[in-house]
């Protein structure tokens, strides 16, 4: 039985992704923040698919220490990871907030958790034939910028900037990751799911969130939003497209910073430095 790790799997795109993969016979490892919500989602998936091979790991993805500990649990419990889906993301309230580890909150959850979880699970991914890493990004990255001197928006912070930057970093990370693993039997992809009607931004009072919430009537369903993620998990013979950014199941060009080899490598190096600073 193939195994898929899905972060943020208790609702929205993550839950639909987990459901679709369970329907296709995957063992699912749900990484969620809330035990009660995770248990309810797990039961929904079992009821819908008849697949009871659904495990839960509780982790606050804003904490790099918890991400590392969760990765250790996975390495101890599973011998193969066929698909790693970095899906969980947040849009916090309007004021800039830092985690207990000193990272800006949006940056921590939306980028650093992707980066660290992937790095920590690499030993199992390397041992699994034709494994794939799928990073859920967004076309909001086109409003993002890469400024190594202001990576976490200690100056000029806004919710929309923080979110746009984090989604840009998802794509830059994928681009560099594909280079790091190009000699291995692993591929990496990222995607825009569309503007999806989930509980994303429901608890935020920023103007960006309010604008997002006003448009819910016109948004895609979570099922539709998960289609490209599921495509990248299941579609055969797309290995040659590793590192690419997808929209509606097709590769598209991201913004210029996401195509800069130098910038993508620099972000990787800065992320490694931050991980070392936090964990050591």
The residues that are catalytic are: 163
d(CA 93, CA 110): 15
Buried b (16+ CB within 10 A) or exposed e, 232-268: bbeeeebeebbbbbbbeeeeeebbebbeeeebbebbb
Buried b (16+ CB within 10 A) or exposed e, 166-202: bbbbbbbbbbbbbeebeeeebbbbbbbbbbbbbebbe
With beta carbons less than 8 A apart as the criterion, state whether 110 and 103 touch.
no
Q: Which residues pair with 48 in a beta bridge?
A: none
With beta carbons less than 8 A apart as the criterion, state whether 248 and 241 touch.
no
d(CA 164, CA 90): 11
Per DSSP, the three-state class of 140 is helix
HEC states along 204-235?
CCCHHHHHHHHCHHHCECHHHHCHHHHHHHHC
């Amino acid at each position: 039985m193939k195994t898929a790790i899905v972060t943020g799997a208790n609702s929205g795109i993550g839950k639909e992704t987990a459901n679709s993969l369970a329907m296709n016979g995957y063992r699912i490892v749900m990484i969620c923040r809330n035990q009660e919500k995770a248990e309810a989602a797990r039961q929904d998936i079992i009821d819908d698919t008849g697949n009871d091979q659904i495990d839960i790991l509780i982790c606050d993805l804003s904490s790099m220490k918890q991400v590392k500990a969760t990765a250790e649990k996975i390495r101890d419990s599973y011998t193969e990871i066929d698909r790693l889906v970095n899906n969980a993301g947040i849009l916090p309230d309007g004021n800039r907030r830092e985690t207990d580890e000193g990272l800006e909150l949006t940056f921590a959850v939306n980028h650093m958790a992707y980066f660290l979880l992937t790095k920590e699970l690499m030993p199992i991914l390397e041992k699994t034939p034709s494994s794939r890493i799928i990073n859920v990004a967004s076309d909001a990255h086109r409003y993002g910028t890469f400024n190594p001197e202001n990576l976490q928006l200690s100056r000029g912070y806004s919710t929309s900037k923080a979110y746009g930057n984090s989604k840009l970093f998802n794509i830059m990370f994928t681009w560099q990751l594909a280079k790091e693993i190009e000699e291995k039997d692993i591929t990496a992809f990222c995607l825009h799911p569309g503007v999806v009607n989930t509980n994303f931004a429901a608890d935020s009072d920023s103007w960006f969130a309010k604008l997002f919430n006003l448009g819910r009537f016109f948004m895609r369903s979570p099922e539709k939003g998960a289609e490209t993620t599921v495509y990248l998990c299941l579609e055969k013979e797309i290995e040659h497209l590793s590192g690419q950014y997808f929209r509606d199941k097709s590769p598209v060009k991201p913004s210029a910073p996401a195509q800069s080899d130098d910038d993508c490598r620099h972000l990787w190096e800065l992320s490694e430095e931050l991980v070392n600073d936090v964990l050591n």
